[in-house]
Structure 1
């Protein structure tokens, strides 16, 4: 895993630091974000591996860049949660990532965390942009 920065063990679970977000960009989702650190738990990695076979192994190197510089932040179905879209020109592959943000109402030990991550097709990309509420679009 190339872009994993640090591994911690919390409550018997491995937690991997992915990178940092620009809190100003993500204020469109929640005003009171308390940390810029983004993690993924071992449990979420297993979820991704089981539901989206091969996506994690092939594309985890993109996770840090997706959360750092999303092309779109789209309103998600849950509070303090963002649906991120980003496409990488070198491979021409679009990705969808769900990121749960930590606010002042959460436990102070929590970090922003990736809930799921997957490669999507152009049809799904276009459907999300057309039918969902766009909160942020990169310039």
Structure 2
């Protein structure tokens, strides 16, 4: 499978996270990333993999992972009475190509931790 373009890093995300990237830097999804999502987070993948492009294009929040240097896109979905915060981590390969590396529903503790550190930056809707 050839990596598929699933989104782009737009100027809003570049600006709020203070990234030194060109606007509309493409984000790809490769076979190994897909396999990781399926094996590590099968239920989340089953439920939200069809929303990957939407999460990347219209996130509710973005964050910068302090250690892994990844850009984290987070979108809230409402499922019955529960709110799911779905995180998609995007990271550059060794040669500078950006890939969606993983997708999972954040646990309540993780959401709380991000909020306490002011790590979730809200993206205002136009």
- Per the normalisation by structure 1, the TM-score is 0.69
2:28 pairs with one of 1, 18, 39: 39
Check 1:53–1:66 CA distance in 2 against 1; reply closer, same or farther (3 A cut).
same
> Counting helix residues as a fraction of each chain, which structure ranks higher?
2
Partner of 1:129: 115
Q: C-alpha separation between the residues in 2 aligned to 1:70 and 1:29?
A: 17
CA displacement 1:27-78 (0-9 Å, x = unmatched): 3251223643221111011111111122222211121111112222222123
Say how many residue pairs are matched: 120
In the alignment, does 2:105 pair up with 1:114? no
Provide structure 2 residue ranges, at least 5 long, that are not aligned to the other structure. Answer: none
1:57 pairs with one of 46, 49, 59: 46
Asked if the contact 1:101/1:112 (under 8 Å) is kept, the reply is yes
- Per the normalisation by structure 2, the TM-score is 0.75
Asked if the contact 2:88/2:101 (under 8 Å) is kept, the reply is yes
| Larger mean Cα displacement after TM superposition, 37-46 or 50-59 | 50-59
Q: C-alpha separation between the residues in 1 aligned to 2:3 and 2:13?
A: 24
2:11 pairs with one of 20, 23, 27: 23
Q: C-alpha separation between the residues in 1 aligned to 2:61 and 2:92?
A: 16
In angstroms, what is the RMSD of aligned CA positions? 2.6
Asked if the contact 1:93/1:119 (under 8 Å) is kept, the reply is yes
